[in-house]
Amino acid sequence: MPAKKKPPANEQPQRARFIAAARGVGVGHVEGEVGALKYWGDDGKPVKQSRGDDGKPNKPVMDLVIPLDTDYRFTPDQLKLKGLDEDTGVRGWYLSGGDAEKKFKAAMRAAGVKSSRALVGMRLTAKRTGKVKRGDFMSWTHDVVLTKP
């Protein structure tokens, strides 16, 4: 019997458990990838200026960060490329108002989750399912499922 062929990485479901983050249960804190705060410009795109041309404050761009403890570990070559000594499996899933955030919130409702504290220990399975055109860019679509341990 031939071995099953592994699907491409973007088609494989990613599974992870929610973790109690460093600043309290359910409050996200993930090291790295922190940049300068950006704001929504008049054209609806992120800008660095905190105020618009009219002098009014621009609204900050905010991502929902979901702290996860994953089964995935970097290979030794990936660790070397990233300048890391080890991989603990801690990751952050950054949701910025697109399809993933909508599907995540729908999965929370379906699982009966009413607070971020209730997410700790649950299993998250998320999979990119395709792309759709939104404005002038292509956006990923997702399937998201939450299950209790």
Integer CA distances (angstroms), 29 to 34, 69, 78, 91, in order: 11, 12, 23, 10
| C-alpha 136: how far from chain center | 22
> CA torsion 61→66→70→72, rounded to 10°?
-10
**What is the residue extent of each domain of the chain?**
9-147
Most confident of 3-7, 21-25, 36-40, 77-81: 77-81
pTM (two decimals): 0.60
Cα angle 91, 28, 81 (rounded to 5 degrees) comes to 25
Q: pLDDT digit string (tens) for 39-76?
A: 888 887 788 888 888 888 988 877 777 888 888 899 99
Residue 17 banded pLDDT, cuts 50, 70, 90: low
Residue 29 banded pLDDT, cuts 50, 70, 90: very low
